[in-house]
Amino acid sequence: MARIALELSYDGGAFLGWQSQTGGRGVQDALEAALAAVGETARAAGAGRTDAGVHARGQVAHFDATKTWEPRKLKLALNAHLPPSVSVMRAALAEENFHARRSALWREYRYFIWNAPVCYPYMKPYILWLRGSHYDWGLASEAAPSFVGEHDFRAFCREGDRPADTVRHVRYARLTRRGQLILFRIVAGSYLTNMVRIAVGCLLEVAARRKDKSWLAGLLRDASERGTTTKTAAARGLFLWKVEYPVNIWGG
């Protein structure tokens, strides 16, 4: 039996998240169905539980194979049985103690915003489209590094899913603008439910001048509730971009 790592890209709009769902609407369900089609009845473990509607450029999963596979042939075989909204981008033999979630050092998420009166149709399923001209992205950019460091992110978690420990360590957080495209990047070892989307919602409050930087810093300082005015940003703009491990599991 060999452990195999897979890098997956998927359109989250077609699924109710990564996790297996009743009715088979999880990305995990699609992957396990493809594995079964190539003769592997196996459970797949993922690096991150993306929410319904959240996309992935670089989700990582692993499974224990009962057959001997050449990674490139396995990749092609799985892609022949996956729906068009999911692709295996890379496959590799992994160490027997490798675990897609537990072995990860950190995960990078990216959130895309388009701020203009009109939007390219092909971009709409993958960005948050804001039509207004009143946003101050410079202010939001100044506020974004507030997330860096170890903080209690209680205010940045969906209330019904808060664990006992809501402290997380963020290595990197930046918001940048290039023309009409705004990008928020965040890197952390682990996240709370909806943490990135709530963080984006808070940055939007700052960009719209409804809140200031000190308000955002205060949420991290005393873990108070963020209030009813801040919305959780739409799932369609969020991508699980990359998962990093202590060693290069892909080779090359």
CATH number 3.30.70.580 is the correct assignment for the domain at 2-103: yes
> DSSP assignment of 166-213, as one string?
-EEEEEEEEEEEETTEEEEEEEES---TTHHHHHHHHHHHHHTTSS-H
CATH class of the domain comprising 106-241? alpha beta
Q: Is 165 a catalytic residue?
A: no
Structural domain boundaries of the chain?
A: 2-103, 106-241
Q: Which of 11, 29, 51, 152 is catalytic?
A: 51
Tens-digit pLDDT profile for the chain (252 aa)? Answer: 799 999 999 999 999 999 998 877 999 999 999 999 999 999 999 999 899 999 999 999 999 999 999 999 999 999 999 999 999 999 999 999 999 999 999 999 999 999 999 999 999 999 999 999 999 999 999 999 999 999 999 889 887 888 999 999 999 999 999 999 999 999 999 999 999 999 999 999 999 999 998 888 888 887 655 555 568 999 999 999 999 999 999 976
Q: Structure tokens of 94?
A: 């992994």
Distance from C-alpha of 52 to C-alpha of 28, rounded to nearest angstrom = 12
pTM > 0.75 = yes
238-244 vs 55-65, strand pairing mode: parallel
Distance from C-alpha of 217 to C-alpha of 34, rounded to nearest angstrom = 45
3-state secondary structure 3-31: EEEEEEEECHHHCCCCCCCCCCCCHHHHH
Distance from C-alpha of 11 to C-alpha of 94, rounded to nearest angstrom = 26
Specify the pLDDT at position 114: 98
Same fold across 2-103 and 106-241: yes
End-to-end CA distance of the chain: 24
